[in-house]
Structure 1
Amino acid sequence: MIEILKGAYDLHVHSAPDVVKRRFSDIELAHRFVAAGMKGYAIKSHQSSTAGRAALIREMVPECNAVGTITLNNAVGGLNPMAVEMAARMGAKIVWFPTVDSWNEYDFLNRNTDIPQPYGAVADSKTLKRERISILEDGRLKPVVFDLLDVIKAHNLVLATGHLSTKESQQLIREAARIGVQKMVVTHGDYPATSMPLEIQRECVACGAFIEHNYLQISTGESNWETAISQIRQIGAKHTLICSDGGQTTSIPPDEAIETYCSKLLENGFSESDVRDIFVSNPRLLVE
């Protein structure tokens, strides 16, 4: 364990059970994070609410604060306020807007055919077609988005932008801030499909959002240390969230990914206070 990570969180982890194979179960990961001295992790599924799973982990491994979440893809009805309401009542803390079913990612992959289909996507079949989901209609937020924001605000949930486009994320963050949503995260600040220019990142930060970076994008070559560290330095530690986005069968364990990112920041001149903000204080503000 790196002592500086005591009490840290990883708020973006893919674990089993899932519709695709994952490297670790919820139970295995809970024990790994406890052994690493970390406080907890958020269970992310592209296809279902994890609030119930997280509640069971908290009972089975009380030292680990497992965080329940929901992602607004087709399997939960897409942009579905009732699904968010029920997840919140079961204790979920984070709401990701569409990811593998987002129109933005679908369009990105169509324009970049050499990039593999995202891990965790559910393919079309003869009887079931995926809706490609946008939160905009005629360039404006759809009416249902305002209903979703009302639920998020009422339960003080974390709004995370998922795999939306920069334009979608910018409008969503602006409106969420306007109505008083307190907890916001721009997901995947340096992932190619969601890459957000620094000036818009700064606008989102001014609205109260954190900018998320992930070890997975470094390990796959979709981003690199130079880009990520430069953006983190310019945005600032107090506005940055770093997660593993781990759990794939080919990825290193999420706890090791967090340690690796922590070490890299220290090697590049970030202070211990900066690192504590990124891995401990900022996620605690979001989920505690």
Structure 2
Amino acid sequence: MSTTAAIRTPANWRDTDPGIVDRLLRGSIDLHCHSGPSVMSRYFDHIEALEEAASVGIRALLLKDHCYSVTPVTELLNKHYGHHGVELLSGVPLNNPVGGLNIHAVDHGIRLGARLIWMPTYCAANHIDYHASHPEFVDQFPKTKTLTVPPSPITILDDAGRLKEEVLPILDLIAEADVVLSSGHLHISEIWVLFEEAKRRGIKRLLCNHPTFIIGADVDDVRRLSEMGVYVEHSSCMFTPGNKYAFFDPEQLQELITAAGIERTILGSDLGIFDGFKLVEGSRAVIEVLLDVGYSEDDIRLLTRTNAARLMGIDVDAE
């Protein structure tokens, strides 16, 4: 289960070490925070997210909106709110509102300071197909506050199963800037093609978000992604009992962590949804889950801090 299985957390940790969760929250890094303004319903805005993270010592927060790059906002907040001690990061989501597979959006975003490029998420053909074929999905993914134009499906592959020509120069820009390539909400069958070409073109920072939700990946796929050098991020909110968006149980999380290995697994909150756990509440909850199944403090720091720092190029020793 663990690289440090000999130092398992005792089952009675709540009695013997009640401050352990607060200790582990300090210095943690969350690469999946959904704050607003957004066309989707969020319970807090970007400044409130920063303040909530600062209240427990979260060290870095990546702000994600599916429709626009939050990078200009994070650059402003880092300049004027740096005294809170939280480094804010963001990236460019290649959905319809930014022109889809738009090299200009990628180029401009990177020049502004974007640290990550998401392949299409809610506009991915896979996401739209998943929504259409799973009636329960209407309650599993945030809705827009008002009616919007339906998304136009985006796929990165041509009819022959090869990457579309417009994807290739985008990969080159990502490689040149040494930023992170996220597979977004593409299907796992698309992701293999994308990541193989990304590696050939020199991209070193690869991320797959919530592989068991929408993406269509199984435990063997997670293992294979890790073997490719991909970081696998699981959405904490999907594994924390009591949260509306807990679609999986803690034992499944443990199985997925084992498949990828602790050194290749990242836990991001995926929080900000108005009717789910709040950021700190959810961050505490997943640490409690990890402690309950026996992971050590060192293991949990890898899952909630060190791996994310390595992926993003943050100094893991800086406080």
Q: Evaluate the alpha carbon distance shift between residue 34 and residue 94 of structure 1 in structure 2; reply closer, same or farther with a 3 A threshold.
A: same
| Counterpart Cα distance in 1 of 2:190 and 2:197 | 11
1:119 has 2:139 as partner: no
Q: Which runs of 5+ in 1 are unaligned?
A: none
Q: CA RMSD in A?
A: 1.8
Q: Distance in 2 between matches of 1:61 and 1:198?
A: 41
After TM superposition, list the pairs within 5 Å mapping 1:1-288 onto structure 2: 2-62=22-82, 63-116=85-138, 118-120=141-143, 128=149, 130-138=151-159, 139-191=161-213, 193-218=214-239, 219=243, 220-287=245-312, 288=314
* Identical aligned residues as a percent: 28
AA partner of residue 268 (structure 1): V
1:157-216 alpha-carbon deviations (Å, 9 max, x no partner): 11111111010111111211222211111111221x113122222222122111111123
Partner-residue secondary structure (3-state), 1:132? coil
CA distance in 2 between partners of 1:247 and 1:6 (Å): 20
Instruction: For 2:274 and 2:31, locate their aligned partners in 1 and report how far apart those are by CA, in whole Å.
Output: 19
Q: TM-score, normalised on structure 2? A: 0.84
Q: CA deviation at 1:260?
A: 1.1
Query: In 2, distance between residues paired with 1:152 and 1:51?
Result: 16
Contact 1:177 1:208 in 2 (8 A): no
Would you say the 8 A contact 2:269–2:279 is kept in 1?
yes
Distance 1:96 1:81 in 2: 12
- Find the residue that maps to 1:143 and give its secondary structure: coil
- Number of aligned positions between the proteins: 285
How many Å separate the matches in 2 of 1:207 and 1:260? Answer: 30
* C-alpha contact (below 8 Å) 2:223/2:259 kept by paired residues: no
Cα displacement (A) at 1:123: 8.6
Partner of 2:11: none
Mark the CA change 1:5 to 1:175 in structure 2 (over 3 Å): closer, same or farther: same
Partner Cα distance (2:145, 2:36) in 1: 16
Which secondary structure state, in structure 2, belongs to the residue aligned with residue 246 of structure 1? coil
For residue 121 of structure 1, report the CA deviation from its aligned partner.
Answer: 5.6
Alignment partners' CA distance in 2, 1:250 and 1:162 = 23
Change in Cα spacing, 1:99 to 1:25, as seen in structure 2 (3 Å) is same
Structure-2 separation of matches of 1:97 and 1:122: 24
The structure whose Rg is larger is 2
Take 1:279 and 1:271, find their aligned partners in 2: how far apart are those partners? 12
1:52 maps to a residue whose letter is P
> TM-score normalized by structure 1?
0.93
The residue type equivalent to 1:148 in the other structure is I
CA distance in 2, matches of 1:175, 1:123: 38
Structure with the larger RCO, 1 or 2 (CA within 8 Å, 6+ apart): 2
